[in-house]
Amino acid sequence: MPITYDIKTDFLYKKGKAEGKAEGIEEGMERKSRIVVARGYEKGLSLEEIAELADMPVEWVIAVIREIETEK
């Protein structure tokens, strides 16, 4: 007689799935903020304006702009 186990009801499975989902959402939000920084930079907005639009600190905006410049 085989033993069956539904992995989807396991506590650790559910916890891992929730953590993965939260991590994916966070990565998506950061990716979107990077797009906002790139577009604002291309349009000549100030660092403060870009930071406000991206809802990120100015230091983070500066770091992203440096990355954009090194990729060119």
Task: Report d(CA 33, CA 53) in Å as an integer.
Answer: 8
Residue 11 near residue 2 (C-beta atoms within 8 A): no
The model carries a pTM of: 0.74
Please check whether residue 51 is in contact with residue 61, taking contact to mean a CB–CB distance below 8 angstroms: yes
**Model pLDDT for residues 21-43, shown as the tens digit of each residue:** 999 999 999 999 999 999 999 99
Of 65, 70, 16, the C-alpha closest to 37 is: 65
| Statement: residue 72 has pLDDT above 80 | no
